[in-house]
Chain A
Amino acid sequence: MRWRHRACGGGGGSSTDAGADQCWALGMLLRALFDSKRRKAPMVSASIRETVAVRRPDSEAKYEVPVWPSSSPNHRDFANWRPIWTDPSRLELKNSSTMSSEESAIEAAPETSKKVEPPKVVVLQSYDGEEFEVDLVVASQSETIKNMIEDGCVERSVPLPNVEGPVLSKVVRYWKRRVEGGKEEELKQWDKEFVEAEKQQLLEIMVAAHYLNSQPLFDLCCQAVADTISNMTVEDVREYFGIENDLTPEEERRIRDVNRWVFD
């Protein structure tokens, strides 16, 4: 699996409603990360990174922003991949002045949000600036986006600062096929081919599907990843995901014995 590491690209959307778009992007980001159901607008703090760090107590450990690792020639590219929301440079806003306008925009948002007519076509914007114009029904495959639209927050563009362009294009491709519909067996076959074709970016698509709350795609990717892991040895799994073993040899031996002797 080769993962392309995207350098820090341009900022978020470039629509005329920069302020409103950005604050709703923020809201959607936080909502998608922490709540799968619609809740009230989350708290905002001085920088987005800190905002990401403001979370439910139990996700404290999850989103610890790491020191960016030095690239090691021995790891596959894939092992150096990091989710973009943990890259501090990607998440900081350009300047603090936009911050205060955002803050006020967010505070103002509840009053200014009136029920707008849901647009027939929306433009999904990846964090690196790629745009995808899709029908409303296609974009609604994402519960996250669907909720935003129903909340009346979307006039036309939906910034998705957590998804890269190439990944988003695959997701959109999947959504479009879903919307087309068809017989059960045909869809299943198409799914199989999709997973096979997108093997390289499967993990990115999986996480994007989780973030966008698109359950069928998320299920499909998780199943495919599980199939990959299945029948692998422990060492192979570690190598494949670039995971370091932090169990002591004693602990590992004990767990291995109990697994094999009792639960196998």
Chain B
Amino acid sequence: MPAGGGWAAMFPDEVWEHVFSFLAADGDRNAVSLVCRGWHSIERRSRRRIFVGNCYAVAPAVAVRRFPNVRVVSIKGKPHFADFNLVPSDWGGRADAWIAAMAEGWPLLEELHLKRMVVTDECLELIARSFKNFRVLALSFCEGVSTAGLAAIAANCRNLRELDLQETVVEENCVHWLSHFPESSTSLVNLSIASLEEDVNLAVLEHLVSRCTNLKTLKLNYAVPLDRLVNLLRRAPQLANLGTGRFTAEYRPELFSKLESAFASCKSMKSLSGICEAVPEYLPAIYPICDGLTSLNLCDAPVNGASLTKLVSRCKNLQRLWVMDVIEDDGLAAVASSCKLLQELRVLPCDPYGADPVSLTEHGLVTVSAGCSMLRSVLYFCRQMTNAALFAVARSSPDLTCFRLCIIDPHTPDYVTQEPLDAGFSAIVESCKDLRRLSVSGLLTDNVFRSVGASADRLEMLSIAFAGDSDAGLHYILSGCKSLRKLEIRDCPFGDKALLANAAKLETMRSLWMSSCFVSLGACRSLAQKMPLLNVEVMDEKKRGGSWDSQPDDCPVEKLYVYRTVAGRRSDTPPCVWTL
């Protein structure tokens, strides 16, 4: 057998390149890149999309060099718990270095997707200047930009198709940024500005929407009132994904009928969100599009359960429903009987710290699980749970891929038996063989983690809060859970022993977050020494200015973030973060 690519190299590279172009999954392209030198070379030159799950796992220049022809890049920065304000605000996740390297090495870049990163106006200006084919800018959960930066993008990216600012905090210093889209710009397909708080120039927006005849996704911010929504819908009846602004106004029959007919003319509407502070009187205006909706997000609509129920019952083709707990068990029962195609359910708390009782209990979840056989993903906030309910869910939804249960008060036991919820969660992991994401809550001992470690073979992400008794819990997880990539823990009695005993496991995972646990500085130092390819970052916001070196080994570590990297220590740690 000839050495090297040998036989396979006799095909022209174009043939293999074309075969590889049909491999969508990164895992497959990664496998192909290991087959032989020839394939490695063909693959790396032909890879067009890359996903970097941790921006600090590699130096930007290295990524750009390895894949010189990338067109679409997706990068994630801060750990997930940053969404709950657990990560110091100056921790990092800056996009500058990446964008500079990309400007240098990928002049043909078309799409940039950043999540939980700090992006600045300088970054946006560099993007606007450097990539002549730039089409998609998607910043989700990012911060640091202002509308001046958006103006630069609007003005210079001639073929911009998508500007998506989902949940990104934007400083609003340039009121007329929308006007920077030139008159000739008609390429927009997605404009999502729901996170902007200030007014936008509505006349300019209407004109932009009119001339962008391919616009499919429009997500407005709260500042857009109901009557202007009518104008926008009339100009864009082809919309498929709509996020309304505020859905509240004094009831006026003629506004209602205009709104209703505007919705009725949107024959392609598939997804609806926004509906901020909806008043029940205007909800029926949405009825004309309910039948076609596959996705409905009512998380900003704290309207009473009965009105929500009437609305949701009409959405027979719903696949995704995000709603607040004001929908109550009755509303979820209606969902279970009407939305037979439901795949994803999220129930978020309207008033998590309030005293007002809400009739949303474990029954709602059980009913939806029983009635919707296609249910795959659940995020459920509630105040009470029983093992029996979890057994029922495990039985009726064995195909769950994501199960996140958040019982609002920590350490809440099964309210009927007063037992921990170990048995219930164990049933979930044992029954749902394809479970990829799990969040546990309530009163839990180490036993549940034994089941999770043993049964959750496909689990990739696990979130634990206020659970467990001892190190054994952490040890069960780290010594099991074959596919674990991300582990995030807060306020659990897990400590040094389990961490050090399973140090090698950490190299098989993307990252580990532990905050308010029983981890000592000494253990972190040992871990860093044992595993040189891990970055072990300890954080304590109170210690600003002090020296970490002088702290004793038994000093408790408030926040710990460990991740594997080929880039070595990062150079941009703020004072409250120390890489050991």
Contacts and interface: CB of A to CB of B under 8 A. Distances in A.
Contacts of A231: 27-28
Interface in B516-531: none
A31 to B, nearest CB: 14
A262 B40 CA distance: 16
Nearest to B17: A222
A83 B40 CA distance: 22
A210 B19 contact: no
A264 B36 CA distance: 19
B56 to A, nearest CB: 10
B566 A257 contact: yes
Interface stretch (A67-75, A88-96, A160-168): A67-75
Contacts of A189: none
A237 B562 CA distance: 34
A97 interface: no
Interface in B1-41: 1-15, 18-23, 25-28, 30-37, 39-40
A207 B5 contact: no
A62 interface: yes
Contact of A256 (B3, B23, B25, B34): B34
B28 A230 contact: yes
B10 A62 contact: yes
A243 B35 contact: yes
B94 interface: no
A30 to B, nearest CB: 13
A244 B30 contact: no
A86 B19 contact: no
B346 interface: no
Contacts of B10: 62-63, 66, 82-83, 86
Interface stretch (B47-55, B205-213, B336-344): B47-55
* Most central of A222, A233, A256, A263 by chain B CB within 10 Å: A263
Contact of B566 (A67, A237, A242, A261): A261
Interface string B540-580: 00000000000000000000000011100000000000000
B11 A229 contact: no
Contacts of A263: 26, 30, 50-52, 63
Interface in A46-68: 59, 61-64, 66-67
* Most central of A59, A210, A232, A258 by chain B CB within 10 Å: A258
B12 A62 contact: yes
B58 interface: yes
Contacts of B2: 66-67, 69, 244
B57 interface: yes
A207 B27 CA distance: 25
Contact of B1 (A86, A242, A255): A242
A126 B569 CA distance: 61
Interface in A213-244: 218-219, 222-223, 225-227, 229-234, 237-238, 241-244
A247 interface: yes
A246 B3 contact: yes
A226 B33 contact: no
Interface in B318-345: none
A218 B18 contact: yes
Interface in B161-177: none
B28 A261 contact: no
A99 interface: no
B36 A227 contact: no
A252 B39 CA distance: 13
B50 A245 contact: no
Nearest to A85: B10
A174 interface: no
Nearest to B23: A226
Given A234-B31, A244-B36, A256-B34, A262 B57 contact: yes
Contacts of A234: 31, 34-35
Interface residues of B, number: 48
Nearest to A224: B22
B568 to A, nearest CB: 13
Interface residues on A, range: 35 or more
A210 B12 CA distance: 9
Contacts of A219: 18
A248 to B, nearest CB: 10
B57 A238 contact: no
A259 interface: yes
A32 B526 CA distance: 62
Contacts of B34: 234, 247, 252, 255-256, 259
Interface string B449-490: 000000000000000000000000000000000000000000
Given A229-B28, A263-B30, A222 B35 contact: no
Contact of B11 (A207, A223, A242, A245): A207
B566 A246 contact: no
A144 to B, nearest CB: 14
A79 interface: yes
A227 B3 contact: no
Contact of A246 (B23, B26, B36): B36
A81 B565 CA distance: 42
* Most central of B31, B53, B57 by chain A CB within 10 Å: B31
Contacts of A238: 35-36
A79 B10 CA distance: 13
Contact of B6 (A244, A256, A258): A244
B7 A241 contact: yes
Contacts of A227: 22
B24 to A, nearest CB: 8
B26 A258 contact: no
Contacts of A207: 11, 15
B14 A264 contact: no
Contacts of B31: 229, 232-234, 237
B11 A243 contact: no
Contacts of A79: 1, 7
A206 interface: yes
Contacts of B36: 238, 243-247
A223 to B, nearest CB: 5
5 contacts: A59-B12, A237-B31, A244-B6, A255-B34, A264-B26
Given A230-B23, A258-B66, A264-B51, 16 more contacts: A83-B11, A207-B15, A210-B15, A219-B18, A225-B19, A226-B28, A234-B35, A243-B6, A243-B35, A244-B2, A244-B3, A255-B33, A255-B40, A259-B33, A260-B30, A262-B52
